[in-house]
Amino acid sequence: MTIGLRLLVIFALVSFGCAPRPAASVLPPAVDVTGRWTGSWTIPGRGSGDAWVTLQQSGAKVTGEIRITGTPDNNPGGPVEGMVEGNALTFIWTNRNGQARGEFTVTGEEMTGSTELIARLQWKLTRTK
């Protein structure tokens, strides 16, 4: 293989590797999570408690606050920032233990999912009227 042909092959490989990739498809919000949600959280085999969540949604962006009681930690909660894509809410919940990542699915007036930081909490919430 000649040097010119080698350079052409290398240039082609580098060019294709640097080509812009199509943006990941993002679904528009199919739900509005604005409001007050109440329910419970559990850590299977370790503890449980009550939860109060207040959310505001603008487009896909969500802000709000989570408050909880229960054992083993009795963590009071803290602010939430996230996004809604389709019927999925993903967020970061900042509390005294750090930042937990949350993933909830919204079905009608119910929301279920989990957060994880030190332990994985399972959540079940219902929108209050």
What pLDDT is recorded for position 50?
Answer: 95
- Residue 24 backbone zone (phi > 0: left; psi -120 to 50: alpha; other: beta): beta
Q: Would the pLDDT of 12 be above 90? A: no
Q: Would the pLDDT of 123 be above 90? A: yes
Confidence of residue 116 (pLDDT cuts 50, 70, 90): very high
- At 86, which amino acid appears? G
Torsion of CA 3, 9, 10, 11, to 10 degrees: 110
Q: Would the pLDDT of 104 be above 80? A: yes
pTM for the whole thing? 0.78
Q: How far apart are CA 24 and CA 120, in angstroms?
A: 28
Tens digit of pLDDT for each residue in 41-87?
999 889 999 999 999 999 999 999 999 998 876 678 899 999 999 99
Domains of the chain and any CATH numbers: 35-127 (2.40.128.120)
C-alpha distances in Å from residue 126, one per residue of 14, 17, 37, 40, 55: 52, 47, 5, 9, 13
